[in-house]
A and B are shown apart, each in its own frame.
Chain A
């Protein structure tokens, strides 16, 4: 009883550990090929899951399997850490063209950093079980990119009894978009500010300046309040009005959390980066799909990159394969990068994009890392996620082959140690009509 209570306390403290449905008996996956990500491949390995965590990893015969363990033979199978999608809309949409099922972005304003994905994330989305079936266990959920500052993303785990159990990091990062899609000039007749890149940049700059100003006003106010406690004769300073929008920017201006800066073309990346430097923002780059000329600079600045979608069509003056090759170019320069689906329904195909990047020159290990350990590091959760290592959350996938290949079938998925049933609305339909 005491142990259960203690466990429960831990869950509340750290949702990443496990949730209430974690099995009590340890599980041992025996005989499989372990792609540990952090320390190579172990053929004929054993992985032990206990209390929602990875309890042991090693060669068969060298790892003690607990007596009470449920042993699962995974001979001929591949075992790897759950995959992480570094940018999705999962849980914010159900059917793209059915407006009432979408919570993707607040279109009335371009600057909405006080939007929190965790307020809308739909834990019961039918898209989530579909996604898990291809071994994706974690996702960074972000609002749609049509606003300059559409809101703050969340890191979720794709299984849990409730939304709150699935949210590992509620406000993970500030999304900042400068791809041009944020311009409000879709039609001349409905034009409004900002219509140009200049407008976008000015608007962004003003927003950050307003936030600095806001912080300053509060500081002054608090200072005076403190001083007045010592010297009551001092005049009151007017209490600033609370402004959630500006308040939301403060942790980012203080460099406490990363800003995910999306731009595609080199010139846009440079403008957005200079804006970020102006305000000392900690930057993770996003997309950069047409920025081949800038890659050395990015490497020099040691900026991490969320890359893709690698299927984005090149520009008419570009080779057909420039976007396919981009991850390889990043890998070649030692830039830390992670893959993303930038989608909701299509998240399940994330590993295949990584496979395609391998075909176009990314070393295999690097590609797998860009779906696991790299994102865990970029998002600050490498202590819990991203590799088959003792002490990490037991997000573990068993498949009948190469995880990056389209032909591979995922056989088992464990999230926080719990084996997730590989069923979805789609398998239910399949089974109903197969009869």
Chain B
């Protein structure tokens, strides 16, 4: 049943050695068995000498005993580790530096899709670090930023193939020093935390009015009132009204314990749910309050001291919050960290003694939940997307490197290839 690995290359459409015109694009139709690896499944623990069978872009079977269909290509992975693809719950890559519309503190009508640069090399570099899905967000200049994109790191493909079809929409809010600094420098509101939250409340209040206006209008129309006055459409308020209607996952950049509490209070006041606090370096101070609301955090392993609101950051934050029931993700917020989130998760085992499962979950299933795609990715489970990484060493250490990265069953990165370790697709994908 075993075939030489080389046989894979034409099958999977690899191109590094071949001239570009000979290249076929990923098919999503591969049938592959990765076998004899140590599987770190996230949801079913560690499986030694395990195999994963993928077909048509999905995980079909996995475990210590997997029947290998004759039609499948076999990848021998003895001595290697297989994990689900890493998921980055907070990135700004592929936005071509169009990260902040820093001209007004409320810009919910900004759509990251309009800046999406799928050719950004950062996408390839984090793919080479095992990242398969990212949430790329507006920057933190604004109290209410804009609408994020979720994409898979199918580097070399086009916009439509990369955007994560069916992923829920996320919107970015931000509080604390950044909006203070940005608008303080312009001598505008907000330049204090009081100002921050006043701006946020005012915007939400206007959105509530807008929503009511439209609700009333539509009710009138439904009753057949031909004279009903149609309110003017306002993209900004429309987006915020959708927040109030619960159509967005609300991702809030904030650092300090008092800010978490204020954001929770405002969300209650206006009746929306917060999905996650991002950065959240002081989550360890109020973990119960965060856990009670069902809010997750996307934080750093040990980054600290770069600004005043990061002064109380401690590397035990993730574990302390987790032990109190908070769902914790470790995220990058940088094109650099995104290339080695596995190591960052490894640090969580050291600082506070997270188990392998807990640490790995922080860069897979938990960020998947924050993005709202946990049913599709984030663990090795039957029926999930075949987003997998084969590592040459233990991934939660200083030493593990991705050998191969699969997304939807296609190989998008292979370290053993000459050149850049990635397929070179022909023009016009």
The residues in B between 288 and 342 inclusive whose CB is less than 8 angstroms from any CB of A are: 302-308, 310-316, 320, 335-336, 339-340
With A356-B398, A433-B320 in contact, do A406 and B346 touch (Cβ < 8 Å)?
A: yes
Q: Which of A94, A311, A427 contacts B340 (CB 8 A)?
A: A311
**Chain B window 88-111, contacts with chain A (Cβ cutoff 8 Å), 1 for yes, 0 for no:** 000000000000000000000000
Q: Which residues of A contact B315 (CB under 8 A)?
A: 426
Query: Quick check: A320 and B421 within 8 Å, CB to CB?
Result: yes
List the A residue with the shortest CB-CB distance to B120: A316
Is B284 close to A, CB under 8 A?
A: yes
Is B15 close to A, CB under 8 A?
A: no
Q: How many Å lie between the Cα of A119 and that of B401 in the bound state? A: 43
Q: Which of A314, A348, A430 contacts B284 (CB 8 A)?
A: A430
Given contacts A407-B346, A434-B320, 15 further A-B contacts (CB under 8 A): A95-B305, A97-B306, A127-B305, A319-B419, A319-B421, A320-B128, A320-B421, A321-B421, A345-B305, A348-B302, A356-B399, A359-B398, A404-B398, A426-B314, A430-B284
Query: Quick check: B343 and A345 within 8 Å, CB to CB?
Result: no
CB of B329, distance to nearest CB on chain A (Å): 17
Name B's interface SS: loop
Query: Quick check: A408 and B421 within 8 Å, CB to CB?
Result: no
Query: Quick check: B307 and A95 within 8 Å, CB to CB?
Result: yes
Q: Which of B128, B285, B303, B346 contacts A321 (CB 8 A)?
A: B128
Query: Quick check: B400 and A359 within 8 Å, CB to CB?
Result: yes
The residues in A between 344 and 361 inclusive whose CB is less than 8 angstroms from any CB of B are: 344-346, 348-349, 352, 355-356, 358-360
Q: Which 9 A-B pairs have the closest CB atoms?
A: A355-B398, A406-B346, A97-B307, A345-B305, A320-B128, A426-B314, A96-B306, A359-B399, A320-B125
CB of B218, distance to nearest CB on chain A (Å): 47
**Chain A window 295-325, contacts with chain B (Cβ cutoff 8 Å), 1 for yes, 0 for no:** 0000000000000000111101001110000
Q: How many Å lie between the Cα of A405 and that of B343 in the bound state? A: 9
Query: Quick check: A433 and B398 within 8 Å, CB to CB?
Result: no
Q: Which residues of A contact B255 (CB under 8 A)?
A: none
Q: Which of B122, B125, B306, B399 contacts A358 (CB 8 A)?
A: B399
Is B393 close to A, CB under 8 A?
A: yes
**Chain A window 218-253, contacts with chain B (Cβ cutoff 8 Å), 1 for yes, 0 for no:** 000000000000000000000000000000000000
With A95-B305, A430-B320 in contact, do A313 and B336 touch (Cβ < 8 Å)?
A: yes
List the B residue with the shortest CB-CB distance to A345: B305
Query: Quick check: B285 and A314 within 8 Å, CB to CB?
Result: no
Is A429 close to B, CB under 8 A?
A: yes
With A355-B399, A359-B400, A406-B398 in contact, do A346 and B303 touch (Cβ < 8 Å)?
A: yes
Q: Which residues of A contact B128 (CB under 8 A)?
A: 320-321
Query: Quick check: B302 and A349 within 8 Å, CB to CB?
Result: yes
Query: Quick check: B311 and A95 within 8 Å, CB to CB?
Result: yes
Is A98 close to B, CB under 8 A?
A: yes
Is A409 close to B, CB under 8 A?
A: yes
Query: Quick check: A356 and B340 within 8 Å, CB to CB?
Result: yes
Is B350 close to A, CB under 8 A?
A: yes
Q: Which residues of B contact A409 (CB under 8 A)?
A: 350
The residues in A between 79 and 123 inclusive whose CB is less than 8 angstroms from any CB of B are: 94-98
Q: Which of B121, B177, B312 contacts A429 (CB 8 A)?
A: B312
Q: How many residues of B contact A (CB 8 A)?
A: 42
List the A residue with the shortest CB-CB distance to B346: A406
CB of B120, distance to nearest CB on chain A (Å): 9
- List 20 A-B residue pairs with CB atoms under 8 Å apart, sorted by A's residue number: A95-B308, A95-B311, A96-B307, A311-B339, A311-B340, A313-B122, A344-B305, A345-B304, A355-B398, A356-B398, A356-B399, A358-B399, A405-B397, A406-B347, A407-B347, A407-B350, A409-B350, A426-B304, A426-B314, A433-B320
Query: Quick check: A430 and B316 within 8 Å, CB to CB?
Result: yes
List the B residue with the shortest CB-CB distance to A314: B125
Query: Quick check: B303 and A345 within 8 Å, CB to CB?
Result: yes
Query: Quick check: B124 and A320 within 8 Å, CB to CB?
Result: yes
- Which residues of A approach B to under 8 Å, CB–CB? 94-98, 127, 311-314, 316, 319-321, 344-346, 348-349, 352, 355-356, 358-360, 404-409, 426-427, 429-430, 433-434
Query: Quick check: B308 and A98 within 8 Å, CB to CB?
Result: yes
Q: How many Å lie between the Cα of A374 and that of B263 in the bound state? A: 51
CB of B363, distance to nearest CB on chain A (Å): 13
List the A residue with the shortest CB-CB distance to B301: A406
Q: Which residues of A contact B313 (CB under 8 A)?
A: 426
Q: How many Å lie between the Cα of A406 and that of B340 in the bound state? A: 12
**Chain B window 116-131, contacts with chain A (Cβ cutoff 8 Å), 1 for yes, 0 for no:** 0000011011001000
Q: How many Å lie between the Cα of A219 and that of B381 in the bound state? A: 80
Q: Which of B339, B347, B400 contacts A320 (CB 8 A)?
A: B339
Q: How many Å lie between the Cα of A345 and that of B303 in the bound state? A: 8
Query: Quick check: A352 and B306 within 8 Å, CB to CB?
Result: no
List the A residue with the shortest CB-CB distance to B413: A320
CB of B184, distance to nearest CB on chain A (Å): 13
Q: Which residues of B contact A356 (CB under 8 A)?
A: 340, 343, 398-399
Q: How many Å lie between the Cα of A56 and that of B66 in the bound state? A: 56
Q: How many Å lie between the Cα of A316 and that of B125 in the bound state? A: 10
Is B396 close to A, CB under 8 A?
A: yes
Q: How many Å lie between the Cα of A408 and that of B312 in the bound state? A: 23
Q: Which residues of B contact A321 (CB under 8 A)?
A: 128, 421
Q: Which residues of B contact A344 (CB under 8 A)?
A: 305
Q: Which residues of B contact A406 (CB under 8 A)?
A: 343, 346-347, 349-350, 396-398
Q: Which residues of A contact B400 (CB under 8 A)?
A: 359
Q: Which residues of A contact B314 (CB under 8 A)?
A: 426-427, 429-430
Q: Which residues of A contact B122 (CB under 8 A)?
A: 313
List the A residue with the shortest CB-CB distance to B127: A320
Q: How many Å lie between the Cα of A429 and that of B311 in the bound state? A: 11
The residues in B between 370 and 410 inclusive whose CB is less than 8 angstroms from any CB of A are: 393, 396-401
List the B residue with the shortest CB-CB distance to A127: B305
Q: Which residues of B contact A360 (CB under 8 A)?
A: 401
CB of A166, distance to nearest CB on chain B (Å): 20
List the A residue with the shortest CB-CB distance to B399: A359
List the B residue with the shortest CB-CB distance to A94: B305
